[in-house]
């Protein structure tokens, strides 16, 4: 949105989050967003059933610039900004300028928005320093080049076959159980995108990498950041009124309700082995966080069980029964040391 004093503008992640309610990042500075990541979020947001109703009846325009130098930030002059809008007959109200990193044409399959090969929707992103405009109304998108040339029209991102299709929509954080199941299936199962078993370990040793909590924390943070709807996602975040930090903090921008996620792992790594007691410590820890917080919060303990023998976890009644009402039941993610060859052998021997 152009300021009254005609200062040069950059709309970065913080403003995008407050207005478009989705593009939250850990580093809310002026570094460019990745083009493919932006489009993933863009189309998945528009396709969501939880779309902010304010956007249904208002036009929102995004002026996109592709940077060839990912370490630099180029400003757009307000006059240039206005001329682009005039060419496509749009007003400056609800208009935003976004810096994007260059599109990696070699990896078009990345992300959750799969483009139809015959579509023109992403072709402009193969050019460095390209400027384009996305006009959004409800779930429809019209795309123009900076000289006003029409590029593509997507009437409904849920049904349009000409543009592409969405494999997963963004989810509200209230559906955290579903999100955790997806995270396991898409990232953790058989170490699909996250490596957590120690390399070179003896078969079946169930030896985790060093500092596995950091591996699990980073992976879950990235997944939630990229998949929750209308939320701010922060790792190692300070607790309002508390004495510590929480592993992952997710605040619903609409309701103000904050979800606190504490992560504990069970099993063995180079520093030792942990079992049932660690799970109880984690439950008590999340209870303290929720009880001391001055925010409206919900607390969830997430257990990553990497033990070779996965005995049932028993929570002490003196801890579980005394938990704050806003502490939810713990979530369990079971990690198995099963390679594809072992799994195939098991099937053959049945």
Interacting residues of 122 by C-beta distance below 8 A, sequence separation 6+: 39, 103, 108, 115
Q: pLDDT tens digit string along 41-68? A: 676 766 666 555 555 556 667 676 665 5
| The pLDDT of residue 231 | 82
What single DSSP character describes residue 202?
P
| The pLDDT of residue 173 | 93
| The pLDDT of residue 240 | 80
Dist. CA 330–CA 286, nearest whole Å: 10
Total-model pTM: 0.67
Q: Which CATH architecture has domain 173-343?
A: 3-Layer(aba) Sandwich (3.40)
pLDDT category at 205 given cuts 50, 70, 90 is confident
Dist. CA 49–CA 161, nearest whole Å: 19
Dihedral pair phi/psi, residue 136, rounded to 5°: -115, 130
| The pLDDT of residue 83 | 74
Dist. CA 25–CA 17, nearest whole Å: 9
- Residue 268 near residue 196 (C-beta atoms within 8 A): no
| The pLDDT of residue 3 | 32
Indicate the domain borders of the chain.
13-166, 173-343
Q: pLDDT tens digit string along 232-270? A: 889 999 888 767 899 999 998 778 899 999 999 999 998
pLDDT category at 136 given cuts 50, 70, 90 is confident
* Backbone CA torsion sign across 288, 294, 297, 303: negative
- Residue 90 near residue 25 (C-beta atoms within 8 A): no
* Cα 282 to Cα 51, 58, 139, 154, 318, distances in angstroms: 35, 45, 42, 47, 14
| The pLDDT of residue 9 | 36
Dist. CA 22–CA 141, nearest whole Å: 17
| The pLDDT of residue 81 | 66
pLDDT-above-70 percentage for the chain: 55
Dist. CA 85–CA 349, nearest whole Å: 67
Nearest to residue 15, comparing CAs of 112, 114, 96, 127?
Answer: 96
| The pLDDT of residue 177 | 97
Chain-centroid distance, C-alpha 71 = 23
Dist. CA 108–CA 116, nearest whole Å: 10
Q: Are strands 113-115 and 131-137 parallel, antiparallel or unpaired?
A: unpaired
Nearest 5°: the CA angle 11, 176, 306 is 115
């Amino acid at each position: 949105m152009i300021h009254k004093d005609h200062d040069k503008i950059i709309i970065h992640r913080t403003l995008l989050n407050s207005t478009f309610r989705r593009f939250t990042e850990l580093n809310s500075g002026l570094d460019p967003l990745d083009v493919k990541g932006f489009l993933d979020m863009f189309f998945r947001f528009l396709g969501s059933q939880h779309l902010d109703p304010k956007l249904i009846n208002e036009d929102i325009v995004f002026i996109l610039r592709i940077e060839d130098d990912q370490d630099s930030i180029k400003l757009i002059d307000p006059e240039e900004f206005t001329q682009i809008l005039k060419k496509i007959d749009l007003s400056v109200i609800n208009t935003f300028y976004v810096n994007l990193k260059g599109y990696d044409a070699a990896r078009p399959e990345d992300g959750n928005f799969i483009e139809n090969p015959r579509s023109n929707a992403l072709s402009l992103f193969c050019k460095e320093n390209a400027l384009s405009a996305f006009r959004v109304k409800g779930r429809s998108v019209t795309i123009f080049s900076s000289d006003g040339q029409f590029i593509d029209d997507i009437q409904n991102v849920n049904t349009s076959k000409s543009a592409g299709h969405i494999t997963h929509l963004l989810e509200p954080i209230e559906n955290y159980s579903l999100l955790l199941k997806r995270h396991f299936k898409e990232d953790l199962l058989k170490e699909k995108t996250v490596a957590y078993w120690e390399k070179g370990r003896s078969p079946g040793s169930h030896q985790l990498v060093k500092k596995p909590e950091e591996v699990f924390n980073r992976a879950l943070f990235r997944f939630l950041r990229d998949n929750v709807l209308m939320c701010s996602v922060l790792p190692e975040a300070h607790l309002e009124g508390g004495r510590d930090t929480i592993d992952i903090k997710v605040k619903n921008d609409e309701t103000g309700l904050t979800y606190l996620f504490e992560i504990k792992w069970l099993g063995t790594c180079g520093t030792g082995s942990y079992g049932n007691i660690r799970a109880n410590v984690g439950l008590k820890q999340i209870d303290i966080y929720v009880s001391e917080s001055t925010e409206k919060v919900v607390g969830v303990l997430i257990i990553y069980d990497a033990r070779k023998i996965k005995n049932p976890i028993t929570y002490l009644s003196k801890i579980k029964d005394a938990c704050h009402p806003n502490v939810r039941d713990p979530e369990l993610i079971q990690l198995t040391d099963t390679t594809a060859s072992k799994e195939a052998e098991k099937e053959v021997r049945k």
